[in-house]
Amino acid sequence: LAPWLPVVGLEIHAQISSNSKLFSGSQVQFSAPPNSVVSFFDASLPGTLPVLNRRCVEAAVMTGLALNCSINKKSLFDRKHYFYADLPAGYQITQQRVPIAVNGSLSYSLCIDNKMSQMVTKTVRIKQIQLEQDSGKSLHDDTRSQTLVDLNRAGVGLMEVVMEPDMCCGEEAAAAVRELQLILQTLGSSQAVMAEGQLRVDANVSVHHPGEPYGVRTEVKNINSMRFLAKAVDYEIQRQIEELENGGTILNETRAFDSKLGCTVPMRDKEGKQDYRFMPEPNLPPLILYDAKSLPANMNHQQVVNIDWIHERLPDLPSVKRAKLVEQYGILPEHSFTLLNEDGLTEFFENVVKQTQMKPKKVIGWILKDLLSYLKQHSLTVKESPVSPFLLADLLNLLEKKQISSTAAKQVLTELWKGEGKTPLEIVKEKKLELIQDQQELEQICQAVIDGQENEVIMMVLG
Amino acid sequence: AQVEGLHFQVSAALREGRVSPAELCQRCLSLIKGTKFLNAYITVAEETALRQAEESEKRYRRGQPLGVLDGIPVAVKDNFNTAGIETTCASNMLKGYISPYNATVVQKLLDQGAVLLGKTNLDEFAMGSGSTDGVFGPVRNPWSYSRQYKEKSVPKSHSEDKESNWVITGGSSGGSAAAVSSFTCFAALGSDTGGSTRNPAAHCGVVGLKPTYGLISRHGLIPLVNSMDVPGILTRCVDDAAVVLGSLAGHDPKDSTTIQDNFKPFELPNLTDVSKLSIGIPKEYHAPGLSSEILALWSKAADLFKDAGAKVIEVSLPHTRYSIVCYHVLCTAEVASNMARFDGLEYGHRSDMNKSTESMYAATRREGFNDVVRGRILSGNYFLLKQNYENYFVKAQKVRRLIANDFVKVFRSGVDVLLTPTTLTDAVPYMEFIKEDNRTRSAQDDVLTQAANMAGLPAINVPTALSERGLPVGLQFIGRSFQEKQLLSVAKWFEKQVKFPMIQLEEVKRHEHGVFQHQKSASFS
């Protein structure tokens, strides 16, 4: 059987972290009471006009720069028309012709095997980033045959990040999205929490034989977590391969991931082959961005977004942070990945290092093996850890000073998890776990042991 | 003596206490009642108007009026949002719709103490050139009842009464034009997308100003074509238009298409010397269907400038003949888009049909929109289809650029202002007007006005003379972008020369008061 090459591209919608919406002044608030943060413009009241939110533009520029994109100094807004209950104006304002950023790349890492012992770096091309409005939410109440519409989310700013089909499986897709998520969170341009709908991923999947043209692709939607992303993509790849090997064909359709059944199903023909009748948005002039060279001298700075100014103020991206951790602390690259992957873990680690004489190379083991596994076992976040950096550092110092053995240290740690407020030293004393440092005392103990085992000693001396 | 204007007459009278805002308001309200047959108003906001007038009165008594507009009764076309007062766009879709906010221009008028009498009638959603296609019925041109028209009209038979040969106002801001023309208010807001302020101004014998696109905020103006719409100003004289312009123009952060530059309201100079002016006469505006009467007036006007020493030259705007078709494509495309929000969900009419969301949308839109609106939506959606977009929409945008460039070239060659007719004929009787459909009429009637909208240029109708039928005929001046001061100065000079006669309306005579002065008219023709 000829091998199959799966091809995976992603369309990711990241909600912009801003106080107000993309084109109106109403607040961006998760879980607000229904229809309580809706401006006249969001509700599409006739005669209202869009006014562009500067912060949203800055967020998109930051993200574009972090993803190595070219920032378009002139970009345009368009209307994308379709009728749906959660789209009050009957169109979405988006950037179809000329988006704000294009032609970037994202590097991400994968483990070769499950043990995190060998990592390989991959790159996915970023086709573009565009600014657009989020829609409201509609809840279908089938029992009462009605649809409930909540417009709180209508008009919230989104960055759509389009990743080219450079990925080949669920794991790569998940790793790429994970890295994007970290970048967005580092920049602060999006909080990117999938569970809160701040990061939504649609996957485009197809398969083909090497040397042949790409196959028909399907779009997979309704993926609500990183884990489901990998599952959905892998399922769809498998489904397509099986279908084709059985002589069937792949339809260019949209499918939804059913997390309960772990499979993809065709979606209700909600959009079908829609003609969105794109048209330029006449109420918004072209978006012009400046850099240090093109910035006119007498320009009102309130009205201007300067790309270079934003570039200068970009924080360290995850890849840079990881490299710094490896260099500064002598830990392995895979360690740095785990540190950054857990919210707050890097901080915890660095705090412990500050407070202990133990070398970071050794501390990392305690962090990644003992602390982290305990947290995972009990589904706790780093912030919820009953053991603080101070306590752990204290314990490690005892170990470093050879006051206790490594086995004893683990026992103390187990006690510390209980969070009873005892210090490591107290626990050591309580459980009599101290290493004996006194030579004479040691000799006495050894002698006592030997004395109690006379026969064995004679056997050993005789050979 | 000049035509009654607020700048010279009423404002002074208010300041000097010769008339009070409350009296003025009362008189206008009762005149509105007396001229109800004109059907110029959809909503009369009697209570709020009287309250506003009282507030104004208090300010005058304290010696602290807010400005020239304080206490002045005004009317606003019913496609501008007015908080607490119904805004219908003369459509079933918005019957009973009470907006929660004021359009910026409405707010500005109110902030200066103007008294808002009510909302005026129009073609549904401003689509039309007759003010005949709204759900509240057609607007009648006040001149239909003027002595000047009645004297000239010969009833064809005994049975034909005055009711059946009334003439249209033109459109789509016919209600506003009729309101100003019949003295029920001193200024009115209209909108102008293809000529909707200038056309009815010409037919009703009032000044109709279309400002430069981007000068006055459209926030709160329910849009027809976002890239061409402007709020229009209707008054009885050019000075008044300048005053209203001064109170409305300027950047609005709520409207991203308004220019950022600071606008300085200007005092209109009294031009006496026009010898430094260059007036352009675009030959393409001698359009098919232009009545010989109007052609003669246009010629006479050109001579007027020439005799006064101005340079009058023939110019060419070669792409004029394409502008109607181009306008049709761009207008319907934007209409299709702008009307998409009317789905019955958030506001406005909602059909009882509830089998599904889609069926509810379809029924709501069928019930809420008239044929004209639905026709434009269908056309517009057709032009926006992926397979048609390049050939229609993009092509039309390119032609639009050519039309705009025609004007740029002419103005760059040294012409200050263009002089053209505003309409092809004087106002036609309603019975004759409705023999052709809205689309045909619009295509015919917009020919002379609509290129200015394509190019975003300022333009003004100045009432010039009465036709043989005793009806008003106006001429149009088109100016350079943002050069309203120059445009209005020339218009004011012309207005002074032609001395357009005051309408002689029985109803107005009955409601007359000392503020109105009789006009000795030296008719232009």
CA nearest B125 in A: which residue? A46
Query: Which residues, including other chains, have CB under 8 Å from residue A388's CB and lie 6 or more apart?
Result: none
Residue contact A49–B80, C-beta within 8 A: no
Segment among A19-23, A66-70, A453-457 with least mean pLDDT: A453-457
Q: How far is the C-alpha of B430 from the C-alpha of B382, rounded, in Å?
A: 32
Residue contact A49–B218, C-beta within 8 A: yes
Going by C-alpha positions, the residue among B206, B23, B178, B204 that lies closest to residue B115 is: B23
Residue B1 clears pLDDT 50, i.e. is over it: no
Which pLDDT tens digit goes with each residue over B296-351? 999 999 999 999 999 999 999 999 999 999 999 999 999 999 999 999 999 999 99
CA nearest B340 in A: which residue? A90
**Axis-axis angle for helices A318-329, A345-355 (nearest 10):** 20
**Axis-axis angle for helices B238-248, B484-498 (nearest 10):** 160
Q: Look at residue A78 and give its three-state secondary structure.
A: strand
Given B20, B131, B146, B172, the catalytic residue:
B172
Residue contact A279–B337, C-beta within 8 A: yes
Going by C-alpha positions, the residue among A254, A243, A203 that lies closest to residue A226 is: A203
Q: How far is the C-alpha of B129 from the C-alpha of B168, rounded, in Å?
A: 9
Residue A67 clears pLDDT 90, i.e. is over it: yes
Q: What's the Cα-to-Cα distance from A6 to each of A10, A112, A173, A298, A399, rounded to whole Å? A: 13, 18, 12, 54, 51
pLDDT of residue B520: 29
Which pLDDT tens digit goes with each residue over A320-351? 999 999 999 999 988 999 999 898 999 999 99
Residue contact B343–A83, C-beta within 8 A: yes
Q: Is residue B518 part of a domain?
A: no
A283 vs B253, B257, B347: nearest CB: B257
Q: Look at residue A345 and give its three-state secondary structure.
A: helix
A47 vs B221, B343, B393: nearest CB: B221
For the purposes of burial, counting CB atoms within 10 Å of the CB of B106, is it exposed (0-12), middle (13-18) or buried (19 or more)?
buried
Q: What is the mean pLDDT of chain A?
A: 92
Q: How far is the C-alpha of A183 from the C-alpha of A106, rounded, in Å?
A: 10
A254-258 and A78-81 beta bridge pairing = unpaired
Triad B441, B442, B445: Cα angle to 5°: 80
The residue of B124, B217, B329, B337 whose CB has the most chain A CBs within 10 angstroms, and thus the best one to mutate to test that interface, is: B337
Q: Is residue B467 part of a domain?
A: yes
Which pLDDT tens digit goes with each residue over A174-204? 999 999 999 999 999 999 999 999 999 999 9
What band does B429 get if pLDDT is binned at 50, 70 and 90?
very high
Residue B4 clears pLDDT 50, i.e. is over it: no
Residue A269 clears pLDDT 80, i.e. is over it: no
B347 vs A45, A81, A90: nearest CB: A45
pLDDT of residue A32: 94
Q: How far is the C-alpha of B277 from the C-alpha of B310, rounded, in Å?
A: 5
For residue B202, how many C-alpha atoms fall within 13 Å in the half-sphere facing its CB? 33
CATH number at residue B313: 3.90.1300.10
Q: Any alpha helices (H) in A246-365, and if so which ranges?
A: 307-312, 318-329, 333-341, 345-355, 360-365
The residue of A38, A40, A49 whose CB has the most chain B CBs within 10 angstroms, and thus the best one to mutate to test that interface, is: A49
* CA end-to-end distance (rounded Å), chain A: 65
Which pLDDT tens digit goes with each residue over B344-382? 999 999 999 988 889 999 999 999 999 999 999 999 999
B283, B315 contact by CB (below 8 A): yes
Which residues from chain A sit within 8 angstroms of residue B226, using beta carbons?
282-283
pLDDT of residue A454: 78
Q: How far is the C-alpha of B255 from the C-alpha of B217, rounded, in Å?
A: 6
Q: How far is the C-alpha of A281 from the C-alpha of A268, rounded, in Å?
A: 30
User: DSSP states of A414-439 as a string?
Assistant: HHHHT--S--HHHHHHHHT-PPP--H
**A147 is written with which tokens?**
């649809």
Residues of A with CB under 8 A from a CB of B: 40, 43-52, 79, 81, 83, 85, 88-91, 147, 149, 275, 277-279, 282-285, 303
Residue B518 clears pLDDT 60, i.e. is over it: no
A147 vs B101, B218, B357: nearest CB: B357
Question: Given CB atoms, is B293 within the 8 Å cutoff of chain A?
Answer: no
Smallest CA–CA separation between A141 and chain B, in Å? 13
Mean pLDDT of B141-153: 92
Which pLDDT tens digit goes with each residue over B16-30? 889 999 999 999 999
What band does A319 get if pLDDT is binned at 50, 70 and 90?
very high
Question: Given CB atoms, is B340 within the 8 Å cutoff of chain A?
Answer: yes
Q: Is residue B341 part of a domain?
A: no
CA torsion angle B427 B429 B430 B431 (round to 10): -150
B153, B182 contact by CB (below 8 A): no
Residue contact B384–A51, C-beta within 8 A: no
Question: Given CB atoms, is B263 within the 8 Å cutoff of chain A?
Answer: no
- The single residue listed with the structure tokens 């990592």 is A119
Mean pLDDT of A363-388: 91
**Whether residue B337 lies in the annotated active site:** no
Whether omega before B159 lies within 30 degrees of 0, making that bond cis, reads no
A376 vs A49, which has greater pLDDT?
A49
Given B196, B217, B442, B481, the catalytic residue:
B196
Which residues from chain A sit within 8 angstroms of residue B342, using beta carbons?
46
Mean pLDDT of B188-205: 98
Q: Which helix (H) or strand (E) holds B224?
A: none
Q: Is residue B376 part of a domain?
A: no
A274 vs B148, which has greater pLDDT?
B148
A48, A40 contact by CB (below 8 A): yes
A89 vs B218, B334, B341: nearest CB: B341
A47 vs B220, B386, B389: nearest CB: B220
Residue A208 clears pLDDT 60, i.e. is over it: yes
Q: Which helix (H) or strand (E) holds B247?
A: helix B238-248
Q: How far is the C-alpha of B521 from the C-alpha of B503, rounded, in Å?
A: 10
Which pLDDT tens digit goes with each residue over B66-97? 999 999 999 999 999 999 999 999 999 999 99
What band does B519 get if pLDDT is binned at 50, 70 and 90?
very low
What band does B157 get if pLDDT is binned at 50, 70 and 90?
low
Residue B311 structural domain:
6-325+394-498
Which residues from chain A sit within 8 angstroms of residue B361, using beta carbons?
83
Smallest CA–CA separation between A134 and chain B, in Å? 16
Residue B488 clears pLDDT 80, i.e. is over it: yes
**Whether residue B172 lies in the annotated active site:** yes
A303 vs B177, which has greater pLDDT?
B177
For residue B434, how many C-alpha atoms fall within 13 Å in the half-sphere facing its CB? 13
Q: What's the Cα-to-Cα distance from A398 to each of A387, A454, B38, B361, rounded to whole Å? A: 16, 36, 98, 74
B341 vs A44, A285, A303: nearest CB: A44
Going by C-alpha positions, the residue among A56, A72, A64, A81 that lies closest to residue A289 is: A72
Query: For chain A, what are the domain ranges?
Result: 5-288, 318-431
Mean pLDDT of A240-261: 93
Which pLDDT tens digit goes with each residue over B382-419? 999 999 999 999 999 999 999 999 999 999 999 999 99
Q: What is the mean pLDDT of chain B?
A: 92
Residue A5 clears pLDDT 90, i.e. is over it: yes
B361, A108 contact by CB (below 8 A): no
DSSP β-bridge partners for residue A290? A306
pLDDT of residue B185: 95
Tally of domains within chain B: 1
Which residues from chain A sit within 8 angstroms of residue B218, using beta carbons?
49
DSSP β-bridge partners for residue B311? B278
For residue B333, how many C-alpha atoms fall within 13 Å in the half-sphere facing its CB? 31
Among A161-170, A441-450, B440-449, which range has the highest average pLDDT? Answer: A161-170
At residue A328, what are phi and psi to the nearest 5 degrees?
A: -70, -40
Among A76-85, A388-397, A411-420, which range has the highest average pLDDT? Answer: A76-85
Which residues from chain A sit within 8 angstroms of residue B94, using beta carbons?
46
Q: Is residue B375 part of a domain?
A: no
**B387 is written with which tokens?**
């397979």
Residue B3 clears pLDDT 60, i.e. is over it: no
Going by C-alpha positions, the residue among B412, B427, B371 that lies closest to residue B181 is: B427
Going by C-alpha positions, the residue among B80, B501, B460, B53 that lies closest to residue B241 is: B460
Which residues from chain A sit within 8 angstroms of residue B90, using beta carbons?
none
Residue A432 clears pLDDT 70, i.e. is over it: yes
Query: Which residues, including other chains, have CB under 8 Å from residue A114's CB and lie 6 or more apart?
Result: none
CA nearest A38 in B: which residue? B346
Query: Which residues, including other chains, have CB under 8 Å from residue B374's CB and lie 6 or more apart?
Result: B365, B366
Which residues from chain B sit within 8 angstroms of residue A44, using beta carbons?
341, 346
Q: What's the Cα-to-Cα distance from A418 to each of A386, A413, B203, B327, B396, rounded to whole Å? A: 7, 9, 90, 77, 75
CA B218, B222, B228, B231 torsion: positive or negative?
Answer: negative
pLDDT of residue B515: 44
Q: Is residue B506 part of a domain?
A: no
Q: How far is the C-alpha of B217 from the C-alpha of A407, rounded, in Å?
A: 77
Residue contact B340–A81, C-beta within 8 A: yes
Residue contact A40–B226, C-beta within 8 A: no
For the purposes of burial, counting CB atoms within 10 Å of the CB of B203, is it exposed (0-12), middle (13-18) or buried (19 or more)?
buried
Question: Given CB atoms, is B390 within the 8 Å cutoff of chain A?
Answer: no
E-only strand ranges, B438-485: 459-466, 472-478
Q: Is residue B414 part of a domain?
A: yes
B29, B117 contact by CB (below 8 A): yes
A106, A136 contact by CB (below 8 A): no
**Axis-axis angle for helices A170-187, A333-341 (nearest 10):** 70
DSSP β-bridge partners for residue B201? none
Residue contact B345–A149, C-beta within 8 A: yes
Given B20, B56, B77, B129, the catalytic residue:
B77
Across the beta sheet with A263-266, what order do the strands follow? A70-71, A101-111, A119-133, A157-167, A5-15, A199-208, A218-223, A254-258, A263-266
Residue A125 clears pLDDT 50, i.e. is over it: yes
Among A132-146, A368-382, A408-422, B417-431, which range has the highest average pLDDT? Answer: B417-431
What band does B161 get if pLDDT is binned at 50, 70 and 90?
low
For residue B477, how many C-alpha atoms fall within 13 Å in the half-sphere facing its CB? 33
Residue contact A83–B340, C-beta within 8 A: yes
Tell me the Cα Rg of chain B.
22
**Whether residue B152 lies in the annotated active site:** no
pLDDT of residue B512: 57
Smallest CA–CA separation between A278 and chain B, in Å? 7
